[in-house]
Amino acid sequence: MIKEAPHFLVKPTELELEGKVFRFVCLAINLFVVSVLLNDLLLGSLQITLWLDSISLILLSTFNYLAWFFPYRRRIVLTYFFLLLLISTLSWFILGGMRGPSGFNFLALSAVSIVAIKKPHLYYFSAFFYIIILCLTFIEVWHPDWVNHELDPSTEFSLPISFVLVSFSLMLIVIYLKNQYDGERALILSQNKLLADNNQLIAAQNEELNNNRRKLKNQPDTGRKGEKPHLCPGTQKPAIGRICLSQCP
């Protein structure tokens, strides 16, 4: 029995756009979480932050494995982004809310989800996403004591790094989408040009056919109008060559 090739060995042209984006998003987020965990371990972060980093790394690594070694599935993608939303929400309360790195996480999550999630699930996720954002903002404004605003050294150190990484990732996403748009636009323009050329060719052929019809219609009829065919007496059959000789009875 022949087994299917691993998903990461399939040519990129054979994968859907969302599937390719989802693979590299999973890989990039995994590398980012690993760097955050190492940073928290080296600089000494809160115990709850280390637990959150470790659990997040285990869960996200599982989805990273699914993304690279299994075919693209909408349910996997949607579950993955809801998991990211849950992790970002928990880190909002632990890592300083709007003053911490969670704001950058939500910004990157909103941009990446637009590319990786297909319709109509994108509408549902976006609506839920912005409801969460509004609720978190309301909580921090009206109940600031619910959010831990005392940032440890590791969190303060990760702020500029998070800003640079998120800005760079957003720029790459915009460039990627722009390239996809330019490619689709060039394809549509070439197809429109080909269609216009075909229409011109069909119009020229129709014009030539109409001219030939008019020429045939205007040609004089060489036959003598009103002349009845010569019939052989007795048989009332037309004589061959207009002359009835001895063949006629």
| Cβ-Cβ contacts under 8 Å for 113 (sequence gap 6 or more) | 81, 122, 125, 126, 129
Average pLDDT for 167-188: 79
pTM: 0.61
In a domain, 241, yes or no: no
In a domain, 178, yes or no: no
Percent of the chain that is helix, strand, coil (3-state, to 5) = 75, 0, 20
In a domain, 116, yes or no: yes
| Nearest Cα to Cα of residue 247 among 101, 238, 89, 33 | 238
In this model, does residue 2 exceed pLDDT 80?
A: no
Q: What tens digit of pLDDT does each residue of 7-51 get? A: 444 444 445 666 777 888 888 888 888 887 887 787 776 777 788
In a domain, 207, yes or no: no
In this model, does residue 131 exceed pLDDT 90?
A: yes
Q: How many domains does the chain have?
A: 1
In a domain, 226, yes or no: no
The pLDDT score that the predictor gives to residue 15 is 54
Range of the domain at 141: 15-160
In a domain, 196, yes or no: no
